[in-house]
């Protein structure tokens, strides 16, 4: 049985969902004034979950975005980014979380990863030959 591809099979779409979740979480943390440690935990958890379903090449982007949202809206007010020692430590932590999640997810075999049939990751000509539009 072949599985039909959907838009969420595209890594860019999953990346966009991750960015949206990070933005919403940072906004909620900022409005509720939860503090930097809890904001870091929440954005780190969202980063880890997102990087499990994303290719490795997107993981650093998600982590840097999480750091930017954390620094700009939870640590400071109004989107101000700073590059102090503690800011860089938080960035390193988020990048580490993202890379560990992505590498761990890539090491675990998943059913359907090598499924037969066309996917959106293939070249457009291959999809046309297979009859997928």
Phi and psi at residue 106, to the nearest 5°: -70, -25
Q: What band does 63 get if pLDDT is binned at 50, 70 and 90?
A: very high
Please check whether residue 20 lies inside any domain of the structure: yes
- What is the tens place of the pLDDT at every residue in 86-110? 999 999 999 999 999 999 988 887 6
Please check whether residue 4 lies inside any domain of the structure: no
Note whether 68 and 60 are within 8 A (CB).
no
Which H or E element spans position 102? helix 85-107
- Tokens 């938080």 found at: 90
Please check whether residue 36 lies inside any domain of the structure: yes
Distance CA 36, CA 34 (A): 7
- What is the tens place of the pLDDT at every residue in 107-119? 887 665 544 444 4
Supply the DSSP symbol for 39.
H
What total number of domains does the chain contain?
1
């Amino acid at each position: 049985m072949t599985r039909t591809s959907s838009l969420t099979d595209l890594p860019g779409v999953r990346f966009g969902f991750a960015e949206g979740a990070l933005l919403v979480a940072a906004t909620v943390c900022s409005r509720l004034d939860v503090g930097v440690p809890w904001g870091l935990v929440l954005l780190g958890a969202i980063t880890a979950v997102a990087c499990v379903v994303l290719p490795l090449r997107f993981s650093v982007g998600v982590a840097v975005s999480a750091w930017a949202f954390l620094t700009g809206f939870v640590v400071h007010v109004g989107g101000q980014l700073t590059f102090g020692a503690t800011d860089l430590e938080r960035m390193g932590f988020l990048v580490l979380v993202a890379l560990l999640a992505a590498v761990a997810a890539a090491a675990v075999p998943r059913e359907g990863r090598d499924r037969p049939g066309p996917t959106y990751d293939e070249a457009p000509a291959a999809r046309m030959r297979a009859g997928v539009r």
